[in-house]
Amino acid sequence: MENAFKLMNSPVGVLTLVARASRLAAVLWESERENRVMLGTLVEDNHHPMLLETEKQLNEYFSGTRRQFALALDFEGTAFQKQVWQALLDIPFGETRSYSQIALALGNPKSVRAVGAANGRNPISIIAPCHRVIGASGALTGFAGGLEAKAFLLTLEGHNFTTPSKASMCQQSELDF
């Protein structure tokens, strides 16, 4: 299936916005890991209505005037991944959750690692706020856009996070459950 995309400059770098028909399918990072999100063929369309609306709402978010997005989303993944991504949408602006809290909310407290894996495959970054998921210790953990972008987004939402040093990141596991 062919998908429309548009590049957007933002305070966290160039984002690639992707629409499938009239729904948002992805918000991807400049430093995107190959194959993290499978989308098929992408065709640039700087006038696609969903992409223009997504860019508008993201700009409002970055300027501090939007706390909640109102966009039609098209998540493509397994049933479990979609449950996790829906749980992300339930995390209010300015709040965080741990992987274990999400697993518990889904009714499966033993699925913490699976929740972490699904969170890492979230195709619609920022809109489905995977940046609001932190380690059980309160530490910033793996993020497709990088920990600096994660800290920026959380700070924008009122948290006081600093980017961890490379030494502390090496001591910390990829997902601090």
Q: Which residues contact 82 (CB under 8 A, 6 or more apart)?
A: 75
Which of 115, 130, 133, 147 does the annotation list as catalytic? 130
Q: What is the 3-state secondary structure (H, E, C) of the chain?
A: CEEEEEEEEECCEEEEEEEECCEEEEEECCCCCCCCCCCCEEEECCCCHHHHHHHHHHHHHHHCCCCCCCCCECCCCCHHHHHHHHHHHCCCCCCCEEHHHHHHHCCCHHHHHHHHHHHHCCCECCCCCHHHEECCCCCCCCCCCCHHHHHHHHHHCCCCCCCCCHHHHHHCCCCCC
Annotation marks residue 130 as catalytic: yes
The catalytic residue positions are: 130
